[in-house]
Amino acid sequence: MQPAVEFRGISKHFGAVKANTDVNFTIAKGSIHGLVGENGAGKSTLMSILYGYYRADGGEILLDGQARNIRNSQEAITLGIGMVHQHFMLVENMTVLDNVMLGSEGGFQLKSKRAAVEAQLREICTRYRLDVDPLATIHDLSVGAQQRVEILKQIYRSANILILDEPTAVLTAQETESLFEILRLFKEQGKTIILITHKLQEILDITDTVTVMRGGRVIGAVPTAGTTKEDLANMMVGRPIENNLPRKPYNPGAPVLHVESLQLQDEQQVKLLADIGFTLRAGEIVAIAGVSGNGQSELMEILSGMRLPTSGKLDFLGKALPFAGRSDADGLPRTFRDLGIAHIPEDRLRDGVVKAFSVMHNTILGYQDKLKNRWGLFDFKAIAARCAELMKNFDVRPNNHDLRIGLLSGGNQQKVVIAREVLAQPKLMLVGQPTRGVDIGTIESIHTQLLALRDSGVAILLVSVELEEVRALADRILVMCGGRITGELKIEEFDTTRIGLLMGGMHKS
């Protein structure tokens, strides 16, 4: 059978950075093809070339055996190529129907066309079991439903080749399985799927063939049935991955954070957090497990000073956190940082970096005043040297501190955020989804850094939807559901079934 897609000698450079170098491989028609590699390996760049976002510097792309010069995304769409990005391209205050129609409204009879498109979308949703209401507003939908909207857009546009970039990074296990059912239906319809993911078990579960990239080049392509997670990890990173990282025995110190009867209500008096209470000690990692959207984000926003609680007692190092008498949280994050509370936010693009700033400028965000000299001026030579050392120690690629951080891969952006917060030498580290959308080698690096912090006496509060990450890092586990803590377990009591029940609202008692 003629391949659906064939890459021949594709190369792409961004200045001195070689994103793709002589990339050659084929994707069979009607297959699910996995594409894996470390952050910065060139996967997303290659797919952006296929989708028309970038123009290759050299080489050619063949679709159904015919060479194609894809100059922009509109041409890619016309050729039947669709792409679902890791960060959704949706207008949140518009309906599903309006988002699907954006860019293809056509003519003056918009009302009649809306009715026709709505009917078509409902038919597509039934055929592919997408379970999306075309008249729903995007901001009212769950993350999993928003992703189905993105897929709905591509089906409506008659995509025969569907690219998915980290599609399960923000999905629950149930939403992931639902997505995979949709992809299997796609395959049965003869469509071709290209799946970029860092989750190797998903590669084994869903793909037919997997291509591994490293350093912008193809390392190899293998049938999925004939490989293992260990084989793929070694190909990706070029070395064995350590699954059981060294850590000192659990020996917690004095209380660092004490939370008692914490409550949070929104403007409509809906309870977002209810009766939250726990103590976190020096030299321990307490992980909060739960399905996203059950109050974990709101808790971290309060503890980092981004949001005021409705009521409750919050003590840090024996003193009350300065919430009293405030009508808003303006200036609180800076105060909390000065107290010794560092924060790795769960959404790095929204709360962790400024995409238009250089890597160097992002390494000092929030701590810039501490880097001024006695005359109140910045020593940019010293800041650049500090940044270069940081990038070397945390293996940030490419090692170019003048590069806009928005041009780095997600995993390398995350390394910059973590490095910045670690260098602040905090007493308390708040960590939200630290390895979301990052590769297996970077996961190992991030886990190593967090365990080193714990072993040095830092108190760490970790929020993660990845139970394997919780198992790897936590000393104690708190489970949240519906804004409440439904149970607490020691790491020795780790049991996925029991945790799953607690995540579903079944209390420990």
Q: What pLDDT does 108 receive?
A: 57
Residue 266 counted as domain residue: yes
Q: What pLDDT does 105 receive?
A: 65
Given 204, 237, 270, the domain boundary residue is 237
Q: What pLDDT does 282 receive?
A: 98
Given 421, 438, 461, the domain boundary residue is 421
Query: CB of 38 within 8 A of CB of 414?
Result: no
Q: What pLDDT does 1 receive?
A: 65
Q: 301: domain CATH number?
A: 3.40.50.300
The Cα–Cα gap between 296 and 276 comes to 11
Given 197, 212, 237, the domain boundary residue is 237
300 and 410 housed in the same domain: no
Mapping DSSP to helix (H, G, I), strand (E, B) and coil, where does residue 486 land? strand
Helix axes 440-455, 410-423, angle to 10 degrees: 10
457 and 497 housed in the same domain: yes
Residue 345 counted as domain residue: no
Residue 478 makes CB contacts below 8 A (sequence gap 6+) with 278, 286, 287, 288, 289, 485, 487, 488
The Cα–Cα gap between 105 and 478 comes to 49
Q: Which range marks the domain in which residue 367 is found?
A: 352-421
196 and 225 housed in the same domain: yes
11 and 155 housed in the same domain: yes
| pLDDT tens across the length of the chain (509 residues) | 689 999 999 999 988 888 999 999 999 999 999 999 988 889 989 999 999 999 999 999 999 999 999 999 999 999 999 999 877 889 999 999 999 998 776 655 666 788 889 999 999 999 888 889 999 999 888 777 888 899 999 989 889 999 998 888 777 677 788 889 989 999 999 999 999 998 899 999 999 999 999 999 999 999 999 999 999 999 998 887 777 788 899 999 999 999 999 999 988 888 999 999 999 999 999 999 987 788 999 999 999 999 999 999 999 999 999 999 898 999 999 999 999 999 999 988 889 999 999 999 999 999 988 888 778 888 888 899 999 999 998 989 888 999 999 988 888 899 999 999 999 999 999 999 998 878 888 888 899 999 999 999 999 999 998 888 999 999 999 999 999 999 999 999 999 889 988 988 876 54
Residue 312 makes CB contacts below 8 A (sequence gap 6+) with 259, 260, 261, 262, 263, 276
Residue 202 makes CB contacts below 8 A (sequence gap 6+) with 168, 176, 180, 195
Residue 192 counted as domain residue: yes
192 and 141 housed in the same domain: yes
Domain count within the chain: 3
Token duo for residue 449 = 């850094």
Residue 310 counted as domain residue: yes
120 and 231 housed in the same domain: yes
286 and 215 housed in the same domain: no
26 and 55 housed in the same domain: yes
Map tokens 């994707």 to a residue: 27
Q: What pLDDT does 492 receive?
A: 94
410 and 268 housed in the same domain: no
Residue 69 counted as domain residue: yes
Token duo for residue 491 = 């790491």
* pTM across the whole model: 0.76
Element (H, E) at 420: helix 410-423
Q: What pLDDT does 322 receive?
A: 95
Residue 274 counted as domain residue: yes
282 and 383 housed in the same domain: no
The Cα–Cα gap between 44 and 293 comes to 28
Residue 346 counted as domain residue: no
Residue 347 counted as domain residue: no
The 428-432 sheet, strands edge to edge: 341-344, 428-432, 459-463, 285-289, 476-481, 484-490
35 and 172 housed in the same domain: yes
193 and 250 housed in the same domain: no
| Amino acid, res. 394 | F
